[in-house]
Structure 1
Amino acid sequence: MRQVIEFSWNSLTKAGEELCGDSVVIRTGRDFFVAVLSDGLGSGVKANILSTLTAEIAARMFESGGSVEEVMQTLVDTLPECSVRKLAYATFAVLMVYNGRDAHLVEFDSPPMILIRQNKLTSLPLEKREVKGRVIREAHFEIQENDVMVLISDGYEHAGLGGIFRLGWGWKSIAQAVQRFVQAGVDAVQLTQALSRTCMKFDDDKPGDDSTVISMRVRPAVSVCILTGPPNNKELDAFAVSRLMNAEGYKLICGGSTAQMAARVLDKKLEVEWVPPWKRTEASQKKKKGSPPTALLSGVDLVTEGILTLGQTVEILRHAKTIHDLPKDADPATRLARYLLSADDIHMIVGTAVNPNQIADLVRGEPMRMVYIRDLVQELTKRDKQVTLETV
């Protein structure tokens, strides 16, 4: 099964500054993952410029197969020199993962990456070498399921300096905190939030330095397949349903006509999902006004109405970056959004039959559902989901 890197990051800007001197660049694809954290010299605008250039250059060059030597030479030649310190300097840490397993870590003057494996702090086989007059640390290793990796800028190490801690929070204490959070079962988003809150607390809500964390967790990819809308040719009904039922992961149907078609092809009973009043829980009663009912079909994880639910789901996604941002409602659109935000690979099978009863469909020459599908694809792609579209 394909492995993915679930990730989350957050930056805390030094008190009194408008711009953060740390920069993060993350690029993902089906077979690759690149995360870069750069810390510019000093703070404010100058540091931001240095770190932004460093992160972008490193991400682009490593992603395109550039060597460490080439990246370092480009940075030396490109970074603007600070007029005060007469230096062109920004630290960086780059983690590259290929095919969900093969990892390559490159660090220059940054805090070491924290690796938690099987709930234990694990050392990496780091090698030091000099490249273009600068000492870097480098490691090649294979990641494993449930590995948690954390990159931090030195603002985290200095948190609480001269206050709650004489010498700051320190790398070892941060690593132990990460270990405790991981043992509590947090995901990448929750880990980032917990570390950020702790850092702010140690700095009395006034960060003494730019502080950035990238949390990453290795897990199996989650797949979702959606069938919405009947095919343009009725002879393709069985084909469309078979594509859904043979897909990996969760299987969803959006559309009353689509659900009836699937029930007919599968020769299974389609039932409206209804909970008797005496069995209803607080969660099951949290349904939005005007929300259409769901249905039950054996072998399918969620069956909803089509156009209205898709439109509501798009609106929900526009206000929810991660699954943790979703309301705790149990209406069809929120449930659909929950499946989509928890997925890494999303395959949409979209029927192109035009509904003769929908005047708008006739005017456009395409189903209204295609408008919402395009919006969904756009929102999901923003969140680094791997989305494929198949029309029938």
Structure 2
Amino acid sequence: MRQIVKVAWDSLNKHGEELCGDWVKVTTTPDTLIVVLSDGLGSGVKANILATLTAEIAASMLERGSNVDEVIETLAATLPECQVRHLAYATFAVLQVFDGSEAYLVEYDTPPLILIRDNQVVELPVTERVIAGRTICESRFALKDGDYMVMISDGYIHAGVGGLYRLGWGWKNIALAARRWVATRGDAYQLTRALSKTCLKLYNGSPGDDATVVGMWVRQACAATVLTGPPSDPKLDSLAVSRLISAKGIKVICGGTTAQMAARELGQKLVVKWRAPGQRSGSSSPSKIPPIACLEGVDLVTEGVLSLSSAAERLRTTETIHDLPPAQDAGTRLARILLKADEIHFIVGDAINPQQLADVVRGKPMRQIYLEEIMEQLKRRNKLISVEHL
């Protein structure tokens, strides 16, 4: 299994502003991760526009194969220095990670990235050079499983000025707070939320500046494979099941007919659990979603359309795995697996079920409608999705 970097971020708006003057852009491909944090000059609408333009231009150019020199030259030409304050209209930090292990960092007038390894803050090798009149700091370093990284905007450095910290929270204290938290071995989302809550507290609930944190955690990728629907040709049943069983990571079957097909091909018995784990016998509020089933070698077996619909609803109304309720119904369990996984492969059988209603407007089977929505929700979260039709 390959190594990846999980990313989460959170922004605090300057008190009284509806828009944040910081912007984060994250793009992923199977081989490369790009993270850009930009801080626009000032606050409010203008700062938001400047930061957004900077981050979007940098990320899109790098994604198309441009080098950092070309990016900075473009930004310098597009967003020149403020003639009054002689400051760049937006500062930024750009992190590129190749194959989950080789990192390239570029920082322009922004707080340095914090790298924590083996519960110690690591000092990065930094070199300076000038591009289009801008002095940037560059660093190249290898990432290891279990590393944590933190990017922050200036709003974090200044948090607590005149209060708990006379001169502000400061980089060293932020790094110390991050190092102490890392000992809990939580994920990137939890790290980000912890630092964001502390920052807001230091500002007494009223941030004096836009403040953004990006938390990153290096770990082994989690894969999942979902088989749903029998193949259009029954001769492909064995192939579909073998693809699922031989796949790495978590294995899921969605669909009663699909589950029966898998049980037949595997020569196993399909056992239905008539109530969700943890649901009390005789409960007055049984789930409207059909029960899950058990099949050896498969982590989750659910009914098809209703379970997919429920999972799509969960993904629509929650952002991370931490937002899901503790329920153990089929839809919630499926959503939990999909949010946990980084790489998800869908094996979609194209057999037509005459009893399944089609979407009146789009003319597609409802199963396909829900699958498409689920995939879009997962792509929005930068997960790598692949689909195989049989």
Q: For residues 223 and 274 of structure 2, what CA distance do their matches in structure 1 show?
A: 27
- CA-CA distance at 1:33 after TM superposition: 0.5
Counterpart for residue 43 of structure 1: 43
Counterpart CA distance in 1 for 2:188 and 2:293 is: 33
Partner of 1:311: 309
Q: What's the counterpart of residue 148 of structure 1?
A: 148
User: Deviations 1:256-281 (Å, cap 9, x if unpaired)?
Assistant: 111111111101111112579xx957
Cα offset for 1:47? 2.1
User: What TM-score, normalized to structure 2?
Assistant: 0.94
Instruction: Report deviation, 1:57.
Output: 2.0
The aligned counterpart of 1:241 is: 241
- Cα distance in 2 for partners of 1:291, 1:92 equals 47
What letter is aligned with 1:206? S
How much has 1:71 moved relative to structure 2? 2.2
Distance in 2 (alpha carbons) for counterparts of 1:94 and 1:180? 25
Q: Paired residue for 2:383?
A: 385
Tell me the SS of whatever aligns to 1:318: helix
Cα distance, 1:313 vs structure 2: 1.0
Aligned partners of 2:279 and 2:311: how far apart in 1?
Answer: 23
Contact 1:352 1:367 in 2 (8 A): no
The yes-or-no answer on 1:132 pairing with 2:132 is yes
**CA RMSD of the aligned region, Å?**
2.4
Offset of residue 70 of structure 1: 2.2
CA contact (8 A) 1:287 1:330 kept: no
**Contact 1:200 1:206 (8 Å CA) reproduced:** yes
2:180 is equivalent to residue 180 of structure 1: yes
> How many positions carry a matched residue from both structures?
390
Of the structure 1 ranges 378-387 and 237-246, higher mean CA displacement relative to structure 2 is found in 378-387
Q: For the Cα contact (< 8 Å) 1:50–1:80, is it kept in 2?
A: no
Answer yes or no: is the 8 Å Cα contact 2:9–2:215 preserved in 1.
yes
1:180-211 CA-partner distances (Å, limit 9, x unpaired): 11111221111111111000000100111111
CA distance in 2 between partners of 1:116 and 1:5 (Å): 14
Please point out which of 337, 343, 346 is paired with 2:344. 346
Deviation at 1:374, TM superposition (A): 1.3
Alignment match, 1:15: 15
Q: Write the distance in 2 (CA, Å) between the matches of 1:294 and 1:3.
A: 32
The match for 1:372 is: 370
Q: More displaced, 318-327 or 10-19?
A: 10-19
Q: Deviation per CA, 1:205-255, whole angstroms, max 9, x where unpaired? A: 011111110011111111110111111111111111011111111111111
Q: Select between 202-211 and 80-89 the one with higher mean Cα deviation.
A: 80-89
Residue correspondence of structure 1 range 282-361 to structure 2 within 5 A: 289-358=287-356, 360=358
Cα distance in 1, alignment partners of residues 30 and 372 from structure 2: 20
Looking at structure 2, the residues matched to 356 and 50 of structure 1 have their Cα atoms a distance apart, in angstroms, of 54
CA gap 1:160/1:306 in 2 versus in 1, 3 angstroms: same
Paired AA for residue 24 in structure 2: V
Partner Cα separation in structure 2 for residue 47 and residue 361 of structure 1:
44
The amino acid of 1:55's aligned partner reads A
Dislocated runs of 4+, deviation >6 Å: 361-365
- The normalised TM-score by structure 1 is 0.93
Offset, 1:89: 2.9
**2:268·2:295 contact (CA, 8 Å) conserved in 1?**
yes
Q: Which runs of 5+ in 1 are unaligned?
A: none
State how 1:208-287 maps to structure 2 within 5 Å: 208-273=208-273, 280=278
Equivalent residue letter for 1:110: T
1:79 correspondence with 2:79: yes
Kindly tell me: are residues 79 and 360 of structure 1, through their superposed partners in 2, closer, same or farther at Cα, counting changes over 3 Å?
closer
Following superposition, the deviation at residue 80 of structure 1 comes to 5.2
Inter-partner Cα distance in structure 1 for 2:362 and 2:37: 46
**Structure 1, 128-137 or 337-346: larger mean CA deviation:** 128-137
Counterpart-to-counterpart distance in 2, 1:199 and 1:189: 15
Q: Residues 172 and 291 from structure 1, CA distance in 2 versus in 1: closer, same or farther, beyond 3 angstroms? A: same
Deviates more, 1:142-151 or 1:371-380: 371-380
Q: Percent identity?
A: 56
Name the SS for the 2:355 alignment partner. coil
Q: How far, CA to CA, are the matches of 1:364 and 1:65 in structure 2? A: 37
Which amino acid counterpart does residue 195 of structure 1 have in structure 2? L
37-46 or 74-83, which moves further after superposition? Answer: 74-83
- Distance in 2 (CA, whole Å) between partners of 1:304 and 1:184 is 34
Hey, what's the Cα distance between the residues in 1 that align with 2:119 and 2:361? 58
